[in-house]
Every structure is written in C-alpha cells, then in structure tokens.
Amino acid sequence: MKYFIAAVALSLSATPILAKNSTDFVTDNTFTKGVEGPVFYKGYLYAVNFAKQGTIGKVDKLGKTNLFIKLPNDSVGNGLQFDSQGNLYIADYVNHNILKVPANSQGVEVFAHNSDMNQPNDIAITKRGALFASDPNWTNSTGKLWRINADGSTQLLEENMGTTNGVAVNSDNSKLYVNESVQRVIWQYDLDSELNISNKQPLIKFDDHGMDGMRVDNQGNIYVARYGAGVVLKISPTGKILQTYILKGQHPTNVAFNDEQTKLFVTMQKRGAIEVVDLE
C-alpha cells in the first residue's frame, strides 16, 4: 500500500502544561491486571476481566461494579463495543474470535472467527455495524488490521504492520486511526462509503513510551492512552497535542467516553482499577 511519510516526531516534552487530573472511579484490584476494553452504554460502563480473567464487569454511575457475564471456552476479552441495537461485541484474543452478546441477553455466541488472526485486540465500530480490529503479534513486534463486516465475514486490510494496538473511527466514519505500540506511531486512513481504507499517513510519532487504546470525540479529536507514561493525550485531527491528562497510575490500557462525552474513563493495568477524567 502506498503511503506518505511526514515529519511528525513529537515527545511528551512538547506537550502543553498539565491541566486535568484523574480521580478513581473503580478502586485498586476490583478488576484484574488485564482490565481493558471500557465502553459506555445507556448509563453503564463495561470492562473486561472483573475480579478474574475471562469475565466482563458492569459499573453503574456511582462506581458500583457487578459481574455481567463470564465468557465460555476459556475465552478472554480485550476490546468491547456496542452497536446501535445494543449488541455487545468482544475481541476474544485467546480463541481468535469476535464474540457477540445479543441485546438484552447474557448469552455469548461467536460472531466472527479467523484462525489467521494473531489475537484480535482492540476494536472500533462503525455506524453500519462493521468493526475494525487491531491484531498484534507481540513476539515479532508486527501486526495486522482487519475489518469484520456486519455479516460476520472478515477481511484482512493490512499485514506486515508494526505492533497494531489501539484503533478508532471518527463520528462520520470518514477516518480510521490505528496505532503501533512498539513503533510509537498513530496512522490515519481515509475511509470511503464502503469502509475501504486509503491514503495512509502518520498522524503523530513519539520518542518514548507505548500506546494502547484510543477513542475519537464528536469534534474529531483523538484520545490515546500512553502506556508507561501515565497520561492520556488529546490530539487534534491534524496531529497537534491539545491536552495532557495526568493519571494516578502509569499504565493506562484504554479509554471510553460517557454518553455525553463529558467524562473520560481510563482502565489501568497495574492497578486493576478505572480512573475518570472530567472533560468539562
């Protein structure tokens, strides 16, 4: 695939003065160190690996957490997404699946499977219900990028990438963002009406620390968890760092907005906790 390299190397030393700090939403060791995949739906926050691996927890607005489901067949979830009908999709990195929990149920079914996947990791969902999945190979520091169509079929979009991890789409589904954790770069793609990718360009590069989950707000700004740096960055669609949110822990794994996009929830690996940042 043809793409263009731009001079976009930035480090945390170039970021604005820290102006927003997080607080605890869910305290230490409520989740395992595998806490990931936060997603907000109808007033509740969901995240994987509540109390033990292979589970999904459900958190109310006061931070009270309960078990939502236990995954079958030794599956372990990573990324989570809801579609507009209330179906929940789960990246199962153990069994190379995208799982589905149908709306208003706690049953789990296989929505998509491809044995050529290394381990589906983070997922982003489009308005029509198609998913994009990152697929890292941590041993080789390589990765792939997949599209999972609304019928459950899978399409390999890119291979021989770096260590693909965070993935996000903007609100009108015209842009796709994928980061490579080891290589410390966020890639930006154009999406056409059929969700095909083109015009791959680096949005921003870093000199230190890794990256994990991402989300895009309604204004097109990208929020990325900087693993090991203890911050979340807000980045403009042109690659400018707009805001740095300092966290209590050092190892954020993923981020999610509440329904109003007034708060940002951050899963914290070493703590087994979830922190929250007030965006207003």
Tokens of 234: 């807000």
pTM of the model: 0.92
Say what the pLDDT of residue 19 is.
Answer: 55
Q: How do the domains of the chain map onto residue ranges?
A: 9-278
CB 73 within 8 A of CB 95: yes
CA distance 268 to 252: 4
- Run means of pLDDT, 10 residues per run, the chain, 280 residues: 37 48 96 97 97 98 97 97 97 96 97 95 97 97 97 97 98 98 97 97 97 98 97 97 96 97 97 96
Closest CA to 117 of 139, 131, 97: 97
Tokens of 214: 């991402």
3-state secondary structure of 227: coil
Say what the pLDDT of residue 280 is.
Answer: 84
CB 119 within 8 A of CB 133: no
Closest CA to 10 of 205, 214, 224, 239: 205
Say what the pLDDT of residue 105 is.
Answer: 96
- Going by their DSSP bridges, the two strands 9-10 and 197-206 should be labelled as parallel
Closest CA to 183 of 137, 220, 219: 137
Tokens of 82: 């809801």
CA distance 101 to 104: 8
Using a 10 angstrom Cβ sphere, with 0-12 exposed, 13-18 middle and 19 or more buried, the burial of residue 44 is middle
What class does CATH assign to 9-278? mainly beta
CA 65 to chain centroid, in Å, comes to: 21
Say what the pLDDT of residue 3 is.
Answer: 36
Bridge partners of 69, per DSSP, are 56
CA distance 231 to 255: 11
